[in-house]
Structures are given as structure tokens and as C-alpha cells.
């Protein structure tokens, strides 16, 4: 009697405890999935913003076009077409024909197509050990080992990036 009831109460208690632990673990896993989804969405928003900011430049340079996914190329092309139409309807059509270009370079050398700032700071992770590397801002060479993370100007690590020795993060 009483011993069996106590045992059944203990079994029910353990079952409830297990169910609550599983729910807890499930909640943690769901939070982790949500975190990853947030990071992916954030990355994609950042990538699209960068494509929008320099779409004409990326589409005009074969090197950059080759690096873009087909969906990114389609997006950039559509964005430039929409932007061109908007700018023309808004004000370019009211200007004299010789002032309506969107991709001209002025006599002073000012380019209307914005380019990415290669001196902008980026985070990079070393994929393969590079060894000693001379950063312009450092007097002594820095040893770049696999999985080290650095913040530096893009222009400094561009060749390492193109060789696959570092990756942007």
C-alpha cells in the first residue's frame, strides 16, 4: 500500500522533473536556433546594404561580379535599375542632357560611382599559418597563426584574403 503509493509518487515526481528538464533543454536549443537565425539575418542585411551602397561599382568590375552569387547579381542589377529610374524621374530629366550621366568622372577626377573604402577596418581570421607579416602600423612583424583574429585595414590584408590565407569575419 503506502510504500507503493510513495514509489508511484516518486515516479511521477521524476517524470515531471524529466519533462521539465526536456522542456528546458528544448528551450535552450530553440534559443540557440533563434540566435543563429538572427546572426544569419544580420549578415544578410549587412551584405545587402553593402551591395546597395556600391552596386554600380560591383556590377562594373568583372572581378567583383565573379565573386557575387547569382541572386546577389540579380538583386544589384534590379536595385541599380530602380535607383536609376527614380533619380531620372525625380530630377535628372530636368537637367540638360550633358549633365544626366550617373557614371561619369568629372574633370577634377571625381567619380560619381562610389567605391568601397579599402582603408576601412575589418576583422579577419587566419585560415592557414602565414608566419611573420608586416603590418604598416607596426614596427615589428606580427606572427599570424591559424585561427588568430585581427582587426586591420582591408587594404593591408587584401592579398592574403585573395590567396585564401585569411577570411573576413
User: Which tens digit of pLDDT belongs to each residue from 35-52?
Assistant: 888 888 888 899 899 999
Q: State the Cα–Cα distance between residues 86 and 8, nearest whole angstrom.
A: 73
Q: Kindly state the DSSP code that residue 98 receives in the 8-state scheme.
A: G
In the chain, which residues have pLDDT < 70? Answer: 1-5, 7-8, 14-15, 17-21, 104-110
Checking 90-96 for CB contacts under 8 A at 24+ apart, the result is: none
Q: How many C-beta neighbours within 10 Å does residue 64 have? A: 16
Q: ∠108-110-111 over CA atoms, to 5°?
A: 145
3-state secondary structure of 72: helix
pLDDT of residue 7: 62
The pLDDT assigned to 51 comes to 93
Amino acid at each position: 500500500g503506502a510504500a507503493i503509493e510513495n514509489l508511484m509518487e516518486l515516479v511521477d515526481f521524476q517524470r515531471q522533473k524529466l519533462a521539465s528538464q526536456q522542456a528546458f533543454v528544448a528551450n535552450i536549443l530553440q534559443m540557440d536556433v533563434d540566435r543563429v537565425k538572427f546572426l544569419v539575418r544580420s549578415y544578410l542585411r549587412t551584405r545587402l546594404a553593402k551591395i546597395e551602397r556600391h552596386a554600380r561599382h560591383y556590377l562594373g568590375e568583372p572581378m567583383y561580379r565573379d565573386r557575387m552569387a547569382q541572386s546577389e547579381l540579380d538583386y544589384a542589377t534590379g536595385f541599380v535599375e530602380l535607383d536609376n529610374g527614380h533619380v531620372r524621374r525625380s530630377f535628372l530629366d530636368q537637367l540638360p542632357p550633358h549633365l544626366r550621366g550617373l557614371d561619369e568622372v568629372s574633370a577634377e577626377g571625381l567619380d560619381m560611382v562610389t567605391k568601397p573604402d579599402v582603408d576601412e577596418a575589418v576583422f579577419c581570421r587566419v585560415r592557414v599559418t602565414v608566419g611573420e607579416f608586416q603590418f604598416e602600423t607596426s614596427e615589428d612583424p606580427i606572427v599570424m597563426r591559424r585561427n588568430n583574429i585581427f582587426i586591420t585595414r582591408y587594404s593591408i590584408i587584401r592579398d592574403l584574403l585573395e590567396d585564401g590565407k585569411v577570411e573576413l569575419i
